[in-house]
Amino acid sequence: MDAARLDPELLAWTAGAIALLALLVTAVVWRRLRVVDRRLTQLVEAGAPTTPERGRIEALEQELASVRGDLAQALRHVAVVRYDAFGDMGGRMSFSAAVVDDTGDGMVISSIHARGESRTYAKGIVGGDSEIVLTPEERQALDAARTGQDT
């Protein structure tokens, strides 16, 4: 049909009905949007993160867990015991140093100084103990490193 042949009154009623329908749909959508907005505001005020923040928080939590794992394996517990290895030499020039991680894995390094020579030894530590017998000074350094107490 040609637009010129349509009844103008029918066109006006149809246009009015479409406009009224559009207005009703807009009112319903606007009301629902207000409800959603109000609920979202309540959630944010209660401390709930918004969607972009939640993703960022989850990423930061994963990064923190990774850093904590790396830190647990870091050789960060250290203690040094100085002593005189031989009675004829003073000054506490000999030492034993223990360096371990959170699980007690690491090493003990001892340096024994005498008048004419110096010897250095390293002993591996696994789970807070060594397969090689530790001297009393090495054991003292290891215990101090694991407990965090000064020697």
Mean model confidence pLDDT for the chain: 86
Same domain, 62 and 98: no
Q: How many CB atoms lie within 10 A of CB 110?
A: 22
Q: Is residue 147 predicted with pLDDT exceeding 60? A: yes
pLDDT of residue 91: 79
Please count the structural domains in the chain: 2
Same domain, 62 and 81: no
β-bridge pairing 94-100 and 118-125:
unpaired
Q: Where do runs of H (alpha helix) occur along the chain?
A: 8-45, 51-72, 136-147
Which residues span the domain enclosing 29?
3-71
Instruction: Look at residues 36, 71, 106 and tell me which one is the last residue of a structural domain.
Output: 71
Cα 143 to chain center, whole Å? 28
The residue-averaged pLDDT of 61-71 equals 89
Question: Does the pTM exceed 0.85?
Answer: no
Q: Is residue 101 predicted with pLDDT exceeding 80? A: yes
Instruction: Look at residues 48, 71, 94 and tell me which one is the last residue of a structural domain.
Output: 71
Q: Is residue 50 predicted with pLDDT exceeding 80? A: no
Q: For residues 4 and 84, give the distance between their C-alpha atoms in angstroms, rounded to a whole number.
A: 116
Q: Is residue 53 predicted with pLDDT exceeding 80? A: no
The residue-averaged pLDDT of 56-60 equals 86
Q: In the structure, what pLDDT confidence band is assigned to residue 133 with cuts at 50, 70 and 90?
A: very high
Q: Is residue 4 predicted with pLDDT exceeding 70? A: no
Q: For residues 148 and 137, give the distance between their C-alpha atoms in angstroms, rounded to a whole number.
A: 16
The residue-averaged pLDDT of 6-16 equals 78
pLDDT of residue 25: 87
Same domain, 46 and 16: yes
pLDDT of residue 115: 81
The proportion of the chain whose per-residue pLDDT surpasses 70, expressed as a percent, equals 91
Same domain, 66 and 85: no
Same domain, 113 and 83: yes
**Contact partners, residue 98, CB within 8 Å, separation at least 6:** 77, 78, 79, 80, 106, 107, 108, 125, 138, 141, 142, 144, 145, 146
pLDDT digits (tens, 9 = 90+) for 111-126: 998 888 889 999 999 9
pLDDT of residue 2: 54
